[in-house]
Amino acid sequence: MAMKSLCFVLLSVLVAYYVYKPLPDNMEEKWKIMLIDATFRSLGHLGNLAEMFGVKHYMDVMMLLTYAEHTEPTSDDHVTVTDTLFSDVPVRLYIPKGKSNALKRAIIYIHGGGWCVGSAAMKPYDHLSKQSAHTLNAVIVSINYRLAPKYHFPNQFDDVYNAAKFFLQEKVLEKYSVDPNRIAASGDSAGGNLAAALAQMLLHDPEVKVKLKIQVLVYPVLQGLDLNTPSYKENAYMPLLSRTLMVRFWSEYYTTDRSLFEAMMSNTHISSQDAHLYKYVNWSTLLPGDLKKNHVYKIPDNQNTAFVKKYPGLLDVRASPLLAEDEKLAGLPLAYVITCMYDVLRDDGFMYVSRLRKAGVHVVHEHYDNTFHGVLLMNSGPFPLSLADRMVDKYLNWLDTNL
Ligand SMILES: *[C@@H]1O[C@H](CO)[C@@H](O)[C@H](O)[C@H]1NC(C)=O
């Protein structure tokens, strides 16, 4: 009996030790966040083990969460949900059931997951899309683009682009009773990256007559040149998206070859030959003073040009929308950008906001100073966060007013 109690105490201590993580003072609902993070971290550890023993690729294990949260397309009283193909790209379509003949608004939604995991059919995404369709009486097109490690850049972008371009045809919009002047692209994390790139490419595509009215970028990834910005350094071990995981996502976007991952971890994947591009991602000029703190700006001093030669996508604006010249940014649609303080990607968002504003683009920047990456989707599941509800409400309110 004493032995059993001792084991129980020891086990509890171990679990508490594993789950406990010191978090910033101003984060709300810390224990829930720790439990969410511990669950996610365990999956990561399992992925590392599986990879170490050569059983599975790390991302195949991370993908288990996507499968676990898979939902079939399910219509309800307000919204009809179907899976279909737009230009051979799978999309999940949400059509509000309202009787009115008036034209509807539309959102092209692009899910996150580091270009490697996630799906429009995942419970939190499916829920957000249904809620958006119902609340805004809008058609939602949620794109299931192909994922790494099986497919690499630019397949993910191409799928998003092709599906969006198909939808933006006048005859297709007519079929779904969509107002061509009231269409947004929206995405979170890697989806925000694809949404930003989509908005840039659509703007300059002469074949596309219908243009976006709005781009929504929720804690987006916007550049892969400098993986040592102050936010990468300060938030390297914050919940959900560690620096290591983000770098892993970046490298998998291009290749499964681990040498790129190692180079990106040490921020030596770009050579000084391409140093001229750093002005587009110079956090020393693009970040507000209170985020720069006492970090010292320096561009990598590195002579190895091999990676850029092998993976030219590293310098491609469709992967790093921050690399666009000012003239290419001018004329982009109204942007709603969400950033979170304790997120490695915080500075990507801040830098894009600065650059868009300098180019004359209207930006509404919603910065949450008390939370971490991924929080928008935490309003369901076993540990729902109240901040997630508030963020979604604000997001939908803003779209309702502006779209
Ligand atoms: C970055 O900005 C700083 C000024 O804040 C400047 O001294 C430096 O030359 C810039 N570097 C690049 C690569 O643009």
Asked if residue 13 is part of any domain, the answer here is: no
Does 15 fall in a domain?
no
Ligand 1 shell residues, CB under 6 Å: 278-279, 282, 284-285, 297, 299
300 pLDDT exceeds 80? no
- What's the 278 CA to ligand 1 centre distance in angstroms? 8
Q: Is 400 left (phi over 0), alpha (psi -120 to 50) or beta?
A: alpha
- The confidence band for 48, taking pLDDT boundaries of 50, 70 and 90, is very high
Please give the number of the atom of ligand 1 that sits closest to the Cα of 278: 13
Active site residue 77: no
- Tens digits of per-residue pLDDT, 356-394? 999 999 999 999 999 999 999 998 888 999 999 999 999
From the candidates 129, 189, 251, 354, which is the catalytic residue?
189
Give yes or no: 231 in active site: no
- The preferred substitution site among 280, 282, 351 for testing ligand 1, maximizing ligand atoms within 8 Å of CB, is 282
2 pLDDT more than 90: no
Q: What is the per-residue pLDDT across 139-191, written as a single tens digit (0 to 9) for each?
A: 999 999 999 999 999 999 999 999 999 999 999 999 999 999 999 999 999 99
Shortest-distance Cα residue to atom 12 of ligand 1: 279
State the distance from the centre of ligand 1 to the C-alpha of 303, rounded, in angstroms. 20
Whether 123 maps to a domain, the answer reads yes
Residue 11: which pLDDT band, with cuts at 50, 70 and 90?
confident
206: in domain: yes
| pLDDT exceeds cutoff 80 at 99 | no
For residue 235, the CA-to-ligand 1 centroid distance in Å is 23
Query: In this structure, is residue 18 part of a structural domain?
Result: no
Query: pTM (2 decimals)?
Result: 0.97
Tell the residue nearest (CA) to atom 14 of ligand 1. Answer: 279
Q: Yes or no: say if 229 and 348 are a contact pair by the CB < 8 Å rule.
A: yes
What's the pLDDT score for residue 1? 66
The verdict on whether 226 is a catalytic residue reads no
**Which domain covers residue 137, as residue numbers?**
28-403
Nearest-atom number in ligand 1 for the CA of 299 is 13
Residue 205's CATH number: 3.40.50.1820
- The ligand 1 atom at the shortest distance from the C-alpha of residue 285 is 5
Catalytic residue among 343, 347, 348, 354: 343
Q: What percent of the chain has pLDDT over 90?
A: 90
The protein residue with its alpha carbon nearest to ligand 1, atom 7, reads 284
DSSP string, 299-345: -------HHHHH-GGGG-TTT-GGGS-HHHHTT--EEEEEEEEE-TT
Number of domains within the chain: 1
Calculate mean pLDDT across residues 213-224: 98
Ligand 1 centroid – CA 330 distance (Å): 22
Would you say residue 4 lies in a domain?
no
Cα–Cα distance, 378 to 381 (Å, whole number): 7
Nearest-atom number in ligand 1 for the CA of 279 is: 14
Sheet containing strand 334-342, edge to edge, reads 79-86, 89-96, 138-143, 104-110, 178-188, 214-218, 334-342, 363-372
For 93, 280, 338, the CA distances from 221, given in Å and listed in that order, are: 25, 14, 11
Q: How far is CA 343 from CA 107, 241, 328, in A?
A: 26, 7, 27
Q: How far is the CA of 153 from the centre of ligand 1 (A)?
A: 29
pLDDT, residue 10, reads 82
Q: Does residue 155 sit within a domain?
A: yes
Q: Is residue 337 part of a domain?
A: yes
Contact by Cβ (8 Å): 298, 326: no
324-358 pLDDT tens trace? 999 999 999 999 999 999 999 999 999 999 999 99
Work out which ligand 1 atom sits closest to the CA atom of 276. 13
Residue of 115, 62, 348, 51 whose CA lies nearest to 254: 115
Mutation pick for ligand 1 pocket among 228, 284, 302 (CB with most ligand atoms within 8 Å): 284
Average pLDDT over residues 56-82: 97
